Amino acid sequence: MPYEIAFTKQIEVTYPEQYINECCVGGDIVADALLPALRDTYGELTADQEDWGWFLWFSRSGVNLAVDIFCDDPDAGSFRIHLTSRVRTMLFSTKVSDTPELEQLCRLVVSALAAWTGSQPTVTRLDAKYLPI
């Protein structure tokens, strides 16, 4: 099942007009902090902004992995990240699933965030509907 990682870090935003919504503010800076570790481990990935935040998507061993970044409060530097793994079920459909790849991703992201922020983020396990377990 997915993970939610919460942390706080004051960031400096140079061009605030680039963000679609407030929940997107600074997500690119968070993504930039994670990209070196993610690329070293997973290689090519897709990164972009949506109206709900920023995403980093990639695959490992047939498992689709997602790092979705949301800003809760730009002034406080409060962020959340959802980590999700999906496996193919039939033809083109996938379902949220627990996988060893998700566990590895969680360890990697927590380590990278702790190094970047200087403190341990809060990790919460979520169900398939992204509600705390």
Q: Which CATH number belongs to the domain containing residue 20 in this structure?
A: 3.30.310
pLDDT at 124: 97
Asked, for residue 41, whether it belongs to a domain, the answer is: yes
In the predicted structure, residue 1 carries a pLDDT above the cut 90: no
Handedness of CA 91, 84, 47, 39 (dihedral sign): negative
Asked, for residue 15, whether it belongs to a domain, the answer is: yes
pTM, entire model: 0.94
23-58 confidence digits (pLDDT tens): 999 999 999 999 999 999 999 999 999 999 999 999
71-130 confidence digits (pLDDT tens): 999 999 999 999 999 998 877 788 888 999 999 999 999 999 999 999 999 999 999 889
Asked, for residue 131, whether it belongs to a domain, the answer is: no
pLDDT at 88: 85
Asked, for residue 133, whether it belongs to a domain, the answer is: no
Provide the 8-state DSSP code for 126: B
> Could you give the number of structural domains in the chain?
1
Structural domain boundaries, residue 72: 3-125
